[in-house]
């Protein structure tokens, strides 16, 4: 099949960037989207041009490295799929495609379709952890967890941090990501000690990073390759609000030491 590709080319974080048009022939419908870009890049290199930079790693849809916006939809037209697992059979001959990087102030473009997602790491650093005893290993299954809760925590833990939720959100909000991380730890007994502090700190960090607010429109849930649900955002809001209302400064008058 034959494709017309309009790809965002940006040399560096400070470069202004622009859409550049490419024609690509003999695209096999069995290629993944990234393999199709590999073919384009081979041609560009042969011609002495700069290849299109894009993030990728496992190409199995589980690492969260790849991702860009295809025709205005994060990760392209197939639901529950990252771009590496999107195949060219999802497109038709002579189709014109627009490829753009995730666009958010908190995700500065590094080059072409590659963005810097360190902001997500800093949100995790602000509270995406649990405290564990460092003594001898505890017995497995010594903490009982109801099936329903572990299911919800596992669903939230499926988030691979690709950033599609931010890309699809008209407010560039990181609520689905942050909500998933808060839910995944906050639903489990091990996550209880830091539960409200976690919500307060992670939400605050997301704001510091420059992500927008959630307007509950649901585009993030629709593009999420891992099916993270909007309910996680409600849980984040709940933990944040309860945490903010019941917050008290640590006092160690009796127990200090």
Partner 1 sequence: MSSSATSPARTARMFDAPVAKKAVMALSGLVLFGFVLVHMLGNLQVYLPPGPDGRYALDVYGETLHKSALVLWGARSFLLLTALAHIVSAIQLAQLKNAARPTAYVKQTAIVSTYASRTMYWSGPIVLAFLIYHLLHFTTGQAHPDFQHMHVHENVIKGFSVWYVSLFYIVAMSMLCMHLYHGVWSMFQSLGLAHPSYTPKLKLAAKAFAAIVAAGNISIPLSVLAGLVK
DSSP letter for each residue of 218-232: -HHHHH-TT---THH
Footprint (CB under 8 A) of partner 1, residues 42-71: 69, 71
Picking from 180, 68, 183, the residue whose alpha carbon sits closest to that of residue 114 is 68
By CB under 8 A, is residue 208 in contact with partner 1? yes
**Do 167 and 223 meet the contact criterion of CB atoms below 8 Å apart?**
yes
Site residue total, partner 1 (CB under 8 A): 55
Q: How far is the CB of 85 from partner 1 (least distance, A)?
A: 18
**Do 231 and 175 meet the contact criterion of CB atoms below 8 Å apart?**
no
By CB under 8 A, is residue 24 in contact with partner 1? no
Could you say which of 5, 36, 84, 126 contacts partner 1 (CB under 8 A)?
Answer: 126
Footprint (CB under 8 A) of partner 1, residues 1-20: 6, 8, 19
Q: What are phi and psi of 185, to 5 degrees?
A: -95, -40
Neighbours of 111 (CB within 10 A): 20
Query: Given its phi and psi angles, is residue 75 left (phi above 0), alpha (psi -120 to 50 degrees) or beta?
Result: left
Footprint (CB under 8 A) of partner 1, residues 188-207: 200-201, 203-205, 207
Q: How far is the CB of 28 from partner 1 (least distance, A)?
A: 25
The terminus-to-terminus CA distance of the chain in angstroms comes to 71
Q: How far is the CB of 214 from partner 1 (least distance, A)?
A: 7
By CB under 8 A, is residue 249 in contact with partner 1? yes
Residues in contact with partner 1 by the rule CB under 8 A = 6, 8, 19, 69, 71-73, 98, 100, 103-106, 122, 125-126, 170-173, 200-201, 203-205, 207-208, 210-219, 221-223, 230-231, 233-242, 244, 247, 249
């Amino acid at each position: 099949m034959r494709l017309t590709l309009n790809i965002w080319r940006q040399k560096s974080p400070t470069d202004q960037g622009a859409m550049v048009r490419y024609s690509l022939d003999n695209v096999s419908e069995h290629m993944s989207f990234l393999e199709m870009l590999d073919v384009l890049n081979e041609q560009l290199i042969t011609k002495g041009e700069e290849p299109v930079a894009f993030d990728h790693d496992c190409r199995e849809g589980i690492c969260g490295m790849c991702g860009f916006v295809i025709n205005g939809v994060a990760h392209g037209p197939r639901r529950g799929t990252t771009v590496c697992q999107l195949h060219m059979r999802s497109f038709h001959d002579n189709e014109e495609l627009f490829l753009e990087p995730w666009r958010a102030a908190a995700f500065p473009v590094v080059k072409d379709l590659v963005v810097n997602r360190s902001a997500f790491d800093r949100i995790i650093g602000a509270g995406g952890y649990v405290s564990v005893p460092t003594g001898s290993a505890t017995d497995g299954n010594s903490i009982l967890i109801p099936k329903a809760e572990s299911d919800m925590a596992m669903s939230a833990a499926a988030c691979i941090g690709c950033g599609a939720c931010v890309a699809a959100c008209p407010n560039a909000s990181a609520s689905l990501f942050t909500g998933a991380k808060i839910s995944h730890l906050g639903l489990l007994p091990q996550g209880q000690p830091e539960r409200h502090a976690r919500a307060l700190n992670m939400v605050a960090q997301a704001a510091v990073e420059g992500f927008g607010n959630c307007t509950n429109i649901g585009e993030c849930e629709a593009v999420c390759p891992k099916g993270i649900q909007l309910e996680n955002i409600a849980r984040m809001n709940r933990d944040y609000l309860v945490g903010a209302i019941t917050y008290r400064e640590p006092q160690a008058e009796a127990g200090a030491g």
